[in-house]
Amino acid sequence: MIDLELTPDQNLLVDTVRDYMAKEFAPTIQDNDLNHFYDPNTFAKLSDLGLMGICFPEKYGGAGMDYVSLGLVSEELEYVDHSFRTIMSVHVGLCGCGLYIWGTEEQKQRLLRPLASGERFGAFGLTEPGAGSDVAAMQSTARRDGDSYILNGEKTWVSYADYADTFLLFAKTDPAAHHRGISAFVVHRDEAGPGFVTQPIKHKAGIHAGDTGSISLQDVRVPAANRLGEEGEGFVIAMSSLENGRYTVGAGACGTVRASLDYSVRYANQRQAFGQPIGRFQLVQQMIAKMYQRYEAGRLLYLKAGWLKNRGEPSNRAVSLAKWYCCDAAWDSASDAVEVHGAYGYSDEYPVFRYLRNAKAPVIYEGTREIHTMMQGEYALGYRTERPARKTLPAYRPDAEIALV
């Protein structure tokens, strides 16, 4: 039985993060976006709040909370801007959860703990110039050399590539084995040497207040102790990590829907036309009503996915559906919000056009709309089945501590 009531601590978490984001980041985000500026202090501020290890056990430096809490925070971060939720997605969902689920005890203490405490900033590199949805087409290689591996290749569209310290990267240890020849590696920037080079991707259509970059790997030596899982398990590790990342993306998208709704309601009650607020016109009401409908449906989808993950039940289908629906809902709601604002919506005087520019990226990354459509069709037809998760994050404990400031 699903209990839709949040715990008192989860409500406190939401209120605290919402207030902090409103005071600390909301006043400057519009200017930062216009100026294509990422504030390098952002990660440290979110870490000081206790969010960068929110769902990892306390023995690894985390706060010991659960997947629902991870989703709730993702929504609050994206309500202010995608760039903040993206930090949560790559640091916690993709990199951190990959380490927690697949790492040995020694690796969790050595590699996960600095991420959970906020000492290091984690990122994730899977996509390549010629390999996106077709992961098996990757060209990056990893050759064993004694107690190390030598990595060569390129990664692109890596969120926060220019600022992260620790990277979960994927390369082929057996190129002839296609996806079964992929392995996973944890690479530290400060230990990788001159062959590890990152550079920003410029002229993005959106998420201007966040960083996106590419990585060049030229004879980068990585200790064998930093290989995650066994050789050839990289594809499974990547898909597992992507599921956790997708969960944060879907939950975060509800923040864009809610922000679009809030700004549209405020504007529709203030803007006058033909002697009355434009909110009195039925077609404006229709757009606002659809935003509310999308938010309520999307929130239920991601809460259900989080509930399944907390219980250790198969959740890939639920996560895929939440990501697919919520990202489409965010795009549609931002588009409607622009129309509610009329000509002003087509400018940066109001934030709604920023929402629209930002909302397109999540429709594409972490599984395109088309990939998730195919997945849902295959589930419905019985061509695809779910398997129990290998491991889950810890269930929420009422006595878990988080540094709420």
Torsion angles phi and psi, residue 221, rounded to 5: -90, 125
Which residues neighbour 155 within 8 Å (Cβ) at sequence distance 6 or greater?
125, 126, 127, 128, 140, 161, 169, 214, 215, 217
Could you give the CA distance from residue 91 to residue 159 in angstroms, rounded to a whole number? 10
| Short-list 225, 44, 63, CA closest to 118 | 44
Scanning the structure block, which residue is given the tokens 């056009």?
Answer: 353
The structure tokens listed for 278 are 């434009």
Query: Residue 230 has what DSSP assignment?
Result: S
Which residues on adjacent β-strands are paired with residue 188? Answer: 166
Residue ranges of alpha helices (H) inside 25-93 are: 26-34, 42-48, 67-80, 82-88
Query: Residue 141 has what DSSP assignment?
Result: E
Scanning the structure block, which residue is given the tokens 């509310």?
Answer: 292
Residue 366 is among the residues annotated as catalytic for this protein: yes
Could you give the CA distance from residue 258 to residue 77 in angstroms, rounded to a whole number? 12
**Cα angle for residues 317, 318, 322 (degrees, 5° grid):** 120
Q: Which of these is catalytic: 75, 76, 78, 366?
A: 366
Torsion angles phi and psi, residue 152, rounded to 5: -140, 140
Could you give the CA distance from residue 346 to residue 384 in angstroms, rounded to a whole number? 42
Strands (E), 66-224: 122-125, 141-145, 148-159, 166-172, 182-188, 196-200, 212-223
The structure tokens listed for 172 are 């082929």
Torsion angles phi and psi, residue 99, rounded to 5: -70, -40
The structure tokens listed for 141 are 């290689």
Positions marked active-site: 366
